[in-house]
A and B are shown apart, each in its own frame.
Chain A
Amino acid sequence: MASIKLTINGKSIETHSGQTVLEVAQTAGIYIPTLCYHHALPPEGACRMCLVEIERQRSLQPACTFPATDGLVIHTHSPEVEATRKFILEMLISDHPLDCMTCDAAGDCRLQDLAYEYGVKGGRYQDGFKHSYEVNDPNPFIQVDRNKCILCHLCVRACDHVNGVEAISVFYRGFNAHIGFGADGSLQDSPCEFCGSCVAVCPTAALSPKLASGKGRSWQVEKVDTVCSYCGVGCKLTLNVRDDHIIKVESTWDGPANHGWTCVKGRFGFDYVHHPDRLKKPQVRKYLLDGKKKPKSRNGKLWQWVETDWETAINITAEKLRTTRDKFGPDSIGVLTSAKCTNEENYLMNKLARQALGTNNIDHCARL
Chain B
Amino acid sequence: MPRLNSPKDLADTRLHIRQICREQHTVSPFIYVGMGTCGIAAGAGEVEQTIQKELSAHQIDAEVIPVGCAGMCAREPLVDIQLAGKPRITYANVKPSEIPEIITEHIINGNILTKKAYAQLPEHRHWLEKKSAAENLPSYHELPFYSKQIRIALKNCGMINPESIDDYISQDGYRALSKAVTGMSQEEIITEIKDSGLRGRGGAGFLTGVKWEFCYLAKGQPKFVICNADEGDPGAFMDRSVLEGDPHSLLEGMTIAGYAIGAQEGYIYCRAEYPLAIERLKKAISQAEQYGLLGSNILGTNFHFNLHIKEGAGAFVCGEETALMASIEGRRGEPRPRPPFPAVSGLWEKPSNVNNVKSYAMTPQIILNGSNWFKGMGTERSTGTAVFALTGNIKNTGLIEVPMGITLREIIYEIGGGIPKKKKFKAVQTGGPLGGCLPETALDTPVDFDSLTAAGATMGSGGMIVVDQDTCMVEFARYFLTFASAESCGKCVPCRLGGQRLLEILTRITQGGGTLDDLEEIQYISENMRAASLCALGQLTPGPVMASLRFFREEYEAHIVDKYCPAGVCKGLYSYEILEIQCRGCGLCIKSCPSGAITGSKKEPHVIDQRKCIQCGACYDVCNLEAITVIPKLETIEEIRTNN
Q: B534 contacts A45, CB within 8 Å?
A: yes
**Option from A83, A91, A128, A177 in Cβ contact (under 8 Å) with B494:** A91
**Option from B334, B339, B497, B525 in Cβ contact (under 8 Å) with A175:** B497
Interface bits A1-22 vs B (CB < 8 Å: 1, else 0): 0000000000000000000000
User: Known: A51-B532, A91-B501. Is A153-B491 also a contact (CB below 8 A)?
Assistant: yes
Count A-side interface residues using an 8 Å CB cutoff.
37
Q: A174 contacts B504, CB within 8 Å?
A: no
Q: B490 contacts A170, CB within 8 Å?
A: yes
Interface bits A34-75 vs B (CB < 8 Å: 1, else 0): 000000000011111001000000011110011100000000
Nearest CB of chain A from residue B579's CB, rounded to whole Å:
39
Interface bits B515-551 vs A (CB < 8 Å: 1, else 0): 0000000001100100111100001000000000000
Interface bits B318-349 vs A (CB < 8 Å: 1, else 0): 00000000000000101011011000000000
Within 8 Å of chain A (Cβ to Cβ): is B191? no
Within 8 Å of chain B (Cβ to Cβ): is A151? yes
Q: B491 contacts A84, CB within 8 Å?
A: no
User: Known: A94-B497, A95-B497. Is A174-B489 also a contact (CB below 8 A)?
Assistant: yes
Nearest CB of chain B from residue A34's CB, rounded to whole Å:
13
**Option from B487, B494, B499, B504 in Cβ contact (under 8 Å) with A88:** B494
Q: B492 contacts A65, CB within 8 Å?
A: no
Q: How long is the Cα–Cα vector from A151 to B332 in the complex, in angstroms?
A: 14
Q: Within residues 296 to 335 of chain B, which ones have a CB less than 8 A from any CB in chain A?
A: 315, 317, 332, 334
In the complex, chain B residues whose CB is within 8 Å of the CB of A80: 531
Q: How long is the Cα–Cα vector from A176 to B496 in the complex, in angstroms?
A: 9
Q: How long is the Cα–Cα vector from A240 to B496 in the complex, in angstroms?
A: 35
Q: B531 contacts A67, CB within 8 Å?
A: no
Using CB atoms and an 8 Å cutoff, list the residues of chain B in contact with chain A. Answer: 315, 317, 332, 334, 336-337, 339-340, 485-501, 504, 524-525, 528, 531-534, 539
Q: A174 contacts B494, CB within 8 Å?
A: no
Q: How long is the Cα–Cα vector from A84 to B530 in the complex, in angstroms?
A: 10
In the complex, chain A residues whose CB is within 8 Å of the CB of B504: 125, 127-129
In the complex, chain B residues whose CB is within 8 Å of the CB of A231: none
Q: A45 contacts B488, CB within 8 Å?
A: no
**Option from A88, A128, A174 in Cβ contact (under 8 Å) with B532:** A88
Q: A46 contacts B534, CB within 8 Å?
A: yes
List 26 contacting pairs A-B, 8 Å CB cutoff, sorted by A.
Answer: A45-B337, A46-B534, A48-B492, A48-B493, A48-B533, A59-B531, A60-B531, A60-B532, A65-B336, A66-B339, A87-B524, A87-B525, A88-B493, A91-B494, A91-B498, A125-B501, A125-B504, A127-B504, A129-B504, A151-B490, A169-B332, A170-B332, A170-B490, A173-B489, A177-B488, A177-B496
Q: How long is the Cα–Cα vector from A45 to B334 in the complex, in angstroms?
A: 11
Within 8 Å of chain B (Cβ to Cβ): is A92? yes
Using CB atoms and an 8 Å cutoff, list the residues of chain A in contact with chain B. Answer: 44-48, 51, 59-62, 65-67, 80, 83-84, 87-88, 91-92, 94-95, 125, 127-129, 150-151, 153, 169-170, 172-177
User: Known: A91-B494, A127-B504. Is A175-B488 also a contact (CB below 8 A)?
Assistant: yes
Q: A128 contacts B501, CB within 8 Å?
A: yes
6 additional A-B residue pairs with CB within 8 Å, beyond A48-B494, A174-B499: A48-B534, A87-B525, A88-B494, A95-B500, A128-B501, A153-B491
In the complex, chain A residues whose CB is within 8 Å of the CB of B317: 173
Q: How long is the Cα–Cα vector from A65 to B531 in the complex, in angstroms?
A: 17
**Option from B490, B528, B539 in Cβ contact (under 8 Å) with A174:** B490
Q: B487 contacts A173, CB within 8 Å?
A: yes
Q: How long is the Cα–Cα vector from A83 to B494 in the complex, in angstroms?
A: 13
**Option from A66, A67, A151, A169 in Cβ contact (under 8 Å) with B491:** A151
Q: A84 contacts B531, CB within 8 Å?
A: yes
Q: B489 contacts A45, CB within 8 Å?
A: no
Q: How long is the Cα–Cα vector from A280 to B539 in the complex, in angstroms?
A: 62
**Option from B489, B492, B501 in Cβ contact (under 8 Å) with A94:** B501
Q: B337 contacts A177, CB within 8 Å?
A: no
In the complex, chain A residues whose CB is within 8 Å of the CB of B539: 59
Nearest CB of chain A from residue B321's CB, rounded to whole Å:
15
Q: B501 contacts A151, CB within 8 Å?
A: no
User: Known: A66-B339, A127-B504, A128-B501. Is A173-B490 also a contact (CB below 8 A)?
Assistant: yes
Closest to A35 in B: B493
Q: B499 contacts A175, CB within 8 Å?
A: yes
In the complex, chain B residues whose CB is within 8 Å of the CB of A60: 531-532
Q: How long is the Cα–Cα vector from A328 to B334 in the complex, in angstroms?
A: 70
Q: How long is the Cα–Cα vector from A94 to B494 in the complex, in angstroms?
A: 12
Nearest CB of chain A from residue B133's CB, rounded to whole Å:
53
Nearest CB of chain B from residue A109's CB, rounded to whole Å:
16
Q: B493 contacts A92, CB within 8 Å?
A: yes
Q: How long is the Cα–Cα vector from A65 to B322 in the complex, in angstroms?
A: 14
In the complex, chain A residues whose CB is within 8 Å of the CB of B533: 48
**Option from B337, B490, B493 in Cβ contact (under 8 Å) with A172:** B490
Q: B531 contacts A92, CB within 8 Å?
A: no
User: Known: A67-B339, A125-B501. Is A87-B490 also a contact (CB below 8 A)?
Assistant: no
Q: B491 contacts A91, CB within 8 Å?
A: no
Closest to B538 in A: A48
Closest 4 CB pairs of A and B: A177-B490, A45-B337, A174-B488, A91-B497
Closest to A67 in B: B339
In the complex, chain A residues whose CB is within 8 Å of the CB of B332: 169-170
Q: How long is the Cα–Cα vector from A12 to B143 in the complex, in angstroms?
A: 66
Closest to B541 in A: A174
Nearest CB of chain B from residue A176's CB, rounded to whole Å:
7
Closest to A176 in B: B490
In the complex, chain B residues whose CB is within 8 Å of the CB of A45: 336-337, 492, 534
In the complex, chain B residues whose CB is within 8 Å of the CB of A91: 493-494, 496-498, 501
Q: B491 contacts A150, CB within 8 Å?
A: no
In the complex, chain A residues whose CB is within 8 Å of the CB of B494: 48, 87-88, 91
Q: A92 contacts B534, CB within 8 Å?
A: no
Q: How long is the Cα–Cα vector from A128 to B507 in the complex, in angstroms?
A: 11
**Option from A92, A150, A173 in Cβ contact (under 8 Å) with B315:** A173
Nearest CB of chain B from residue A204's CB, rounded to whole Å:
13
In the complex, chain B residues whose CB is within 8 Å of the CB of A174: 485-490, 495-496, 499-500
User: Known: A91-B501, A174-B486, A174-B487. Is A84-B492 also a contact (CB below 8 A)?
Assistant: no
In the complex, chain A residues whose CB is within 8 Å of the CB of B498: 87, 91
Nearest CB of chain A from residue B185's CB, rounded to whole Å:
31
In the complex, chain A residues whose CB is within 8 Å of the CB of B487: 173-174
In the complex, chain B residues whose CB is within 8 Å of the CB of A83: 528
Closest to A48 in B: B532
In the complex, chain B residues whose CB is within 8 Å of the CB of A150: 493
Closest to A172 in B: B490
In the complex, chain B residues whose CB is within 8 Å of the CB of A59: 531, 539
Q: How long is the Cα–Cα vector from A357 to B534 in the complex, in angstroms?
A: 68
**Option from B339, B486, B493, B497 in Cβ contact (under 8 Å) with A173:** B486
Nearest CB of chain A from residue B404's CB, rounded to whole Å:
23
Pick from A62, A66, A88, A92 the residue with the most CB of B within 10 Å. Answer: A88
Nearest CB of chain A from residue B83's CB, rounded to whole Å:
54
Nearest CB of chain B from residue A124's CB, rounded to whole Å:
9
